């Protein structure tokens, strides 16, 4: 066994007391409350990529997998991100529409966790967003068989060079057929605010289905 110079005591000493930014009230509309927190996270210099969210999916093998994706839109009652439709996450979402999202804003002693149902965005929406991406990212989308085995870094660089030669900078790069958006329509949205003595605030919006009205409930921390 290799020596572990970061001991259990070191890990246990990683303990912080949270402040007293209370969460007494939130807007009746969870999207208004979310937009407010997202803006505050974005304006906080301690937080990088405030729109980064951890997406969890359930695969056909009953294994749960998680990864970070970037929120790109809040519209039509959902949270949108873009990815490769042949990726591991895409296969999971095509077989099980239930997903969760987590925004971990630790520097603000906050998190927002969401459970919901996911569906592809329209192709038009994917194409519209793809056209706004930087050229290098567009070429990267053509180069990557996301989540498939790759024999070497070189193979990826070669595929990138091939796509770059086909669509040189300045030329319109078409949206790959294997690339596009997903929208997560929430069933629960929980706002968590760390507070003193581990007496945190948890306020959860919930509804039984996506056409029902929201209820806002407080939970024990
Ligand atoms: C900060 C950050 C942002 C990311 N944003 C995206 C994204 O918007 N879309 C995406 O497909 N992958 C994104 N990734 C990569 C994913 O986390 C993941 O590695 C990739 O999508 C493959 O996941 P899968 O094999 O589970 O499908 C991001 C990673 C990080 C760390």
* Closest-lying ligand 1 atom to the alpha carbon of residue 89: 27
Rounded distance from Cα 4 to ligand 1 centre (Å)? 30
Q: Give 214's DSSP letter.
A: P
| pTM of the entire predicted model | 0.94
Which residue puts its alpha carbon closest to atom 22 of ligand 1? 147
pLDDT at 2: 60
User: Is 182 within 8 Å of 121 (Cβ atoms)?
Assistant: yes
Q: Is 198 one of the catalytic residues? A: yes
* Closest-lying ligand 1 atom to the alpha carbon of residue 67: 17
Cα dist from 61 to 64, 95, 148, whole Å: 9, 11, 17
User: Is 178 within 8 Å of 143 (Cβ atoms)?
Assistant: no
Q: Is 146 helix (H, G, I), strand (E, B) or coil?
A: coil
pLDDT at 23: 79
Distance (Å, whole) CA 184 – CA 72: 12
Distance (Å, whole) CA 184 – CA 204: 17
Which residue puts its alpha carbon closest to atom 4 of ligand 1? 69
* Closest-lying ligand 1 atom to the alpha carbon of residue 84: 11
Pocket test for ligand 1, best of 49, 55, 69, 95 (most atoms within 8 A of CB): 69
Residues 6+ apart with CB under 8 A from 19: 109, 194, 195, 196
**Which residue in this structure is represented by tokens 């296969």?**
91
H-run or E-run covering 187: strand 179-193
24 backbone dihedrals φ, ψ, rounded to 5°: -80, -40
Rounded distance from Cα 9 to ligand 1 centre (Å)? 33
Rounded distance from Cα 5 to ligand 1 centre (Å)? 31
Q: What residues are in contact with ligand 1 under a 6 Å CB criterion?
A: 49, 52, 65, 67-70, 81-84, 87-89, 146-147
49 backbone dihedrals φ, ψ, rounded to 5°: 50, 65
Which two three-digit tokens encode residue 84? Answer: 């490769």
Blockwise average pLDDT, block size 10, the chain, 221 residues = 79 85 86 97 97 98 98 97 98 98 97 98 98 98 96 97 98 98 98 93 97 97 96
User: Is 92 within 8 Å of 118 (Cβ atoms)?
Assistant: no
Domains of the chain plus CATH, in order, are 20-131+179-218 (2.30.110.10), 135-174 (no CATH)
Active-site residue identified among 198, 202, 207, 218: 198
Rounded distance from Cα 209 to ligand 1 centre (Å)? 28
């Amino acid at each position: 066994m290799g020596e572990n110079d970061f001991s259990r005591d070191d890990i246990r000493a990683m303990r912080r007391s949270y402040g007293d930014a209370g969460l007494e009230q939130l807007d009746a509309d969870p999207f208004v409350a979310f937009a407010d927190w997202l803006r505050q996270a974005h304006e906080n210099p301690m937080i990088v990529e405030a729109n980064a969210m951890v997406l969890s999916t359930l695969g056909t093998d009953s294994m749960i997998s998680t990864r970070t994706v970037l929120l790109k839109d809040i519209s039509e009652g959902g949270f949108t991100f873009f990815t490769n439709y042949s990726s591991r996450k895409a296969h999971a979402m095509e077989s099980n529409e239930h997903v969760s999202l987590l925004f971990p804003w630790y520097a603000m002693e906050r998190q927002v966790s969401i459970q919901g149902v996911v569906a592809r965005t329209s192709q038009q929406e994917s194409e519209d967003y793809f056209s706004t991406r930087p050229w290098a990212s567009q070429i990267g989308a053509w180069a990557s068989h996301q989540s498939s085995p790759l024999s070497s870094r070189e193979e990826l660089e070669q595929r990138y060079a091939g796509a770059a030669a086909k669509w040189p900078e300045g030329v319109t790069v078409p949206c790959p057929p294997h690339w596009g958006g997903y929208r997560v329509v929430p069933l629960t949205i929980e706002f968590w605010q760390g507070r003193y003595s581990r007496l945190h605030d948890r306020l959860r919006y919930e509804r039984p289905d996506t056409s029902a009205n929201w209820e806002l409930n407080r939970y024990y921390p």
